[in-house]
Amino acid sequence: MHLLIFGPGYTATRLIARLAGQAEIATVTRETFADRADDIARATHILSTVPPGDDDPVLAAYGKDIAASGAWIGYLSSTGIYGDVAGAWVDERAPTGTGRRTARAQADAAWLALPNARVFRLPGIYGPGRSPLDRIRAGAAARIDVPGQVFSRVHVDDIVSGVIAGFDGPPGAYNFADDLPAPQSDVIAYGCALLGLPVPRLVPLEQANLSPQARAFYAENRRVANGKAKRVLGWAPRYPDYRFGLRALSATTSPATTSTAPPAASHDQR
């Protein structure tokens, strides 16, 4: 395997560690973005984790080369492309492009149109060094009271195992999410209990003093179904809900972070 990764961020770094000794891996950063056509031609597997701006920078520069490569193609997308469905379940057949992530939905569709492409749609990502526990330890965790609001989330290592399962799976879109969408306030309360720290009081959304980006998370409400990935790829999350994931993280020491994104971490910092 010759794996070429555009955007070696948080998730890709975990993937690289998992594949150590099993693949030849090259990475492309913003600083090394130019003149990668030869690397694309040599790759057996190509993965992009780069979020779009006005357009998708990887496809804009190398879309034709990637399409002609014959390689396995993967792209880390976002379940934000499903928009708001008032808390209903969404699977890969649900309409996309109706929410606030218009550019992401366009990029998702463009990657999905490439031959041999798999698009992995992700909700809030958490894991070592980037979880509610880190915000709680840093004193930066708040519990926002929005009745009926739930978020889906996924542990970073479950994304890694899903991408690896996708190496042998058919092309298409796949949701990687855990089995239990839950309110952000419940997750913070459980994390506080694990750490033996006081549970913050519930704060109404209009009094939470959130940034526009953080507030935007609460404008959409959906539950993300993961049945296709389980059925077609044989994938199953090691951490099927936030309680499993947080318990595992509480047993390790993670560096604190001051991230304030509500469910876990920003979708676009993959």
Return the structure tokens found at 114.
């490439």
The pLDDT, as a whole number, for residue 93 is 97
The length of the chain is 270
**Domains observed in the chain:** 2-250 (3.40.50.720)
In the chain, what is the straight-line distance between the N-terminal and C-terminal CA atoms, in Å? 22
Q: pTM for the complete prediction?
A: 0.92
Helices (H) and strands (E) in the chain, counts: 10, 12
Residues 34-68 pLDDT 10s: 999 999 999 999 999 999 999 999 999 999 999 99
Rounded distance between C-alpha atoms, residue 225 and residue 205, angstroms: 26
Rounded distance between C-alpha atoms, residue 2 and residue 22, angstroms: 10
Among 115, 109, 118, 19, CA closest to 69: 115
- Residue 128: what residue type? P
- Percent share of the chain, pLDDT over 90: 86
Above 50 in pLDDT, residue 77? yes
